[in-house]
Structure 1
Amino acid sequence: MAGELTYHDQENIENTKRMRAILRELPLFCRDFFTGIETRTSARTRLAYAYDLKTFFEYLHRENPVLSKTPIRSLTIDVLEEITLQDIEEYMDYLKCYDTDSRSDVTNAERGIMRKISSLKSFYNYYFRREMIKNNPAALVELPKIHDKEIIRFEVDEVAQFLDEVDDGKDLTDRQKKFHERTRVRDLAMMTLMLGTGIRVSECVGINISDVDFHVDGIRIHRKGGKEVIIYFGDEVEAALRDYMNEREKITAEPGSEDALFLSLQNKRINVRSVEKMVKKYAQIVTPLKKITPHKLRSTYGTNLYRETGDIYLVADVLGHADVNTTKKHYAAIEDQRRRSARDKVKLREP
């Protein structure tokens, strides 16, 4: 529909609204920071910064005897000068487990702590580089060491079992089977598409009907940051998509979702959370010991593509990784297997 906002545009608007709502709870001087980074960051990134800074200032207000007497909104930029390296290190320890007004026992693992401290470093750097503060204690903080996590993904036989379960739903509960009768074709199309192309769940739910072109077997998606790319799919994906498209043509979508490809049972564009629940529902039947998420479907595709091609640069490009080193880190074990297999490939002398 002409003039209709894309899913990506709608997400940017919603994220901007959420960010502005949080900004109204932060000290006034924080507006300078968000204005300064607007041209080089996405709305989603700025929202993440807002959440992280909200946690930091709530910590100061709750734990610092002096600052607790001043409302967060009324804090001035001078407060950044008063914070010491020890204060920030204590904040890092606090992040492991804390309570908020709305939640208790909030926890952060290594990566969560690193992200929040990285946000704080960027925040301090902004004001320090502009000579609005003289001291930068955040620059002295050492980020926590990140231990590599085991990469969880489907094995080849598990992929087939997973798609079979999505297709027939024979092991679902009686209640789930009732819904499965109405969602089977859609669910199979989405799971086949994600496993067959490696797209992100946000990219999947953002696809419009007009983004699909069966003449070239390609789908237009919006990558993180808003970049538009064409992802190509194979025969299995095409078959699943065509089945769903035939069904989709008969559905009248709710206003605002007319061009959305994948719809919820309420005939609105399906959201990320619903897809996460969908993956969990089917995966826990097939692999109950593995925590399979939409991102694990992406990892499964990347692994299979790398095993078939051995081209890490192709995998990085198809998955939309900005840095090939990110891809190498994820598939280092497979790369090592390939290097080991090379040892007997070259014969020096005939036996």
Structure 2
Amino acid sequence: MAGTNNYHEQQNIQNAVKLRELLQALPAFSYEFFRGIEPTTSSKTRIAYAYDLGVFFEFLRLYHPDFMGIQTTDITLDLLDRVAPDHVEQYLEYLKYYVKEGSKEIAHINHERGKSRKLATLRSFYKYFYKKRKLKTNPMLLVDMPKIHEKNIIRLEVDEIARLLDEVESGENLTDKQKQFHAITRDRDLALVTLLLGTGIRVSECVGLNLGDLDFNVNGIRILRKGGSEVIIYFGEEVEWALRNYLENGRKQVPVQTVHGEALFISLQGKRLSVRSVQNLVKKYAGLITHLKSISPHKLRSTYGTNLYRETGDIYLVADVLGHKDVNTTKRHYAQIEDERRRQAARSIRLREQ
């Protein structure tokens, strides 16, 4: 699996460089924290942590009297021991709306999930140094996580799936300019959307696919999950047809750059298709068939999970195929379907003959 590993290794290298840039703006002791969590976190997670810590230290410099006038890089662990639960609660309030230092125009807004993630970052940060006995206090333990209100899962219904695939195949409702590109990318776009709908893989897993990760003998693709584990995901006849058609016809229409020669999905520039490109592609086609739903690659993943659960009723199978480490995550996502099944079952019970 050398090709796939190379792609993900390149992503990790880029993330490592980005993390180093972010660490230069953080206190020196932060390096120890990021070294400590490296074995148990992904490179993307560490970047998110670095961003979150930067926001927290900036807040302290603005609103905590003991931090005012001190550069972020000069903050010490002794100073962090002066942060109390009240300051953390004030920070959560601050996160609702703030403008980053040096950027007077870009406002940042955090809702429940954003605030919860940032507090989770601080909990990990304080827990690490408190456990090492380099902090005497851990105020994060005394602040409740923001309550998260579960949102309804946005997914495509059966008729919407059919219309989406028809639209990708025909392109009849695209603009004249879009139709010019569609003539070249149709087979690729159809294969890509069909694969997402037919396997539920993540968009990052999709763009990381190489030609060598595809095996029509078993109708399976080899992918790397977020945690780095390698798994085989199987697909049906519709996905097989779309992939074969793309490989035999569509992929040959674009000259592929040598460095990207192993990539399965190729852009018009002959490069490996990017995550952002797939997001824009899905948004473009989905916008033609529904105006009420904001459809992204992740929503296609939810659509697949919903269909699989309705067909099998096996929440553990859905969790396994989607790559959820905790089945409770899957249960929360598909609780609505379970509730629907319970209502249908209740209606089927007859106590007396009509």
State the TM-score bracket (shorter-chain normalisation): over 0.9
CA–CA distance in structure 1, aligned partners of residues 167 and 238 of structure 2? 16
CA–CA distance in structure 1, aligned partners of residues 120 and 153 of structure 2? 24
**Structure 2 counterpart of 1:274:** 277
Tell me the CA shift for residue 177 of structure 1: 1.2
Counterparts of 1:1-351 in structure 2, within 5 Å, are 5-100=5-100, 101-102=102-103, 104-246=106-248, 247-249=250-252, 251-343=254-346
Name whichever of 35-44 and 152-161 sits farther off: 35-44
CA–CA distance in structure 2, aligned partners of residues 328 and 3 of structure 1? 34
CA–CA distance in structure 2, aligned partners of residues 6 and 347 of structure 1? 60
Q: TM-score, normalised by structure 2?
A: 0.94
Q: Percent identity?
A: 57
Q: Which runs of 5+ in 2 are unaligned?
A: none
Tell me the CA shift for residue 46 of structure 1: 1.1
Tell me the CA shift for residue 282 of structure 1: 0.7
Contact 1:252–1:258 (CA<8 Å) still a contact in 2?
Answer: no
Tell me the CA shift for residue 240 of structure 1: 0.5
Deviations 1:155-208 (A, max 9, x none): 110000011111111111111111111111111000000001101100100000
CA–CA distance in structure 2, aligned partners of residues 64 and 347 of structure 1? 66
Name whichever of 42-51 and 189-198 sits farther off: 42-51
CA–CA distance in structure 1, aligned partners of residues 55 and 306 of structure 2? 37
Q: How many residues align?
A: 351
After superposition, the Cα gap between the structure-2 partners of 1:54 and 1:256, relative to the gap in structure 1 and judged at 3 Å, is farther
Contact 1:219–1:230 (CA<8 Å) still a contact in 2?
Answer: yes
Q: Which runs of 5+ in 1 are unaligned?
A: none
Contact 1:262–1:270 (CA<8 Å) still a contact in 2?
Answer: yes
Q: TM-score, normalised by structure 1?
A: 0.95
Amino acid at match of 1:268: K
After superposition, the Cα gap between the structure-2 partners of 1:229 and 1:2, relative to the gap in structure 1 and judged at 3 Å, is closer
Name whichever of 6-15 and 61-70 sits farther off: 61-70
Tell me the CA shift for residue 11 of structure 1: 1.4
CA–CA distance in structure 1, aligned partners of residues 156 and 28 of structure 2? 48
Tell me the CA shift for residue 24 of structure 1: 0.8
Deviations 1:205-260 (A, max 9, x none): 00000000011100001111111100000000000000111132564422431111
Amino acid at match of 1:99: V
Q: Which secondary structure does the structure 1 equivalent of 2:221 belong to?
A: strand
After superposition, the Cα gap between the structure-2 partners of 1:76 and 1:261, relative to the gap in structure 1 and judged at 3 Å, is same
Q: Which secondary structure does the structure 1 equivalent of 2:174 belong to?
A: coil
Name whichever of 205-214 and 9-18 sits farther off: 9-18
Contact 1:33–1:126 (CA<8 Å) still a contact in 2?
Answer: yes
Contact 2:222–2:231 (CA<8 Å) still a contact in 1?
Answer: yes
CA–CA distance in structure 2, aligned partners of residues 92 and 343 of structure 1? 44
CA–CA distance in structure 2, aligned partners of residues 318 and 180 of structure 1? 32
Amino acid at match of 1:215: N
Tell me the CA shift for residue 342 of structure 1: 3.0
Deviations 1:270-328 (A, max 9, x none): 11111111111111110111111110000001111111111111111111111111111
Q: Which secondary structure does the structure 1 equivalent of 2:243 belong to?
A: helix
After superposition, the Cα gap between the structure-2 partners of 1:4 and 1:333, relative to the gap in structure 1 and judged at 3 Å, is closer
Tell me the CA shift for residue 50 of structure 1: 0.8
Name whichever of 171-180 and 332-341 sits farther off: 332-341
CA–CA distance in structure 1, aligned partners of residues 291 and 317 of structure 2? 32
Tell me the CA shift for residue 339 of structure 1: 2.3
After superposition, the Cα gap between the structure-2 partners of 1:3 and 1:317, relative to the gap in structure 1 and judged at 3 Å, is closer
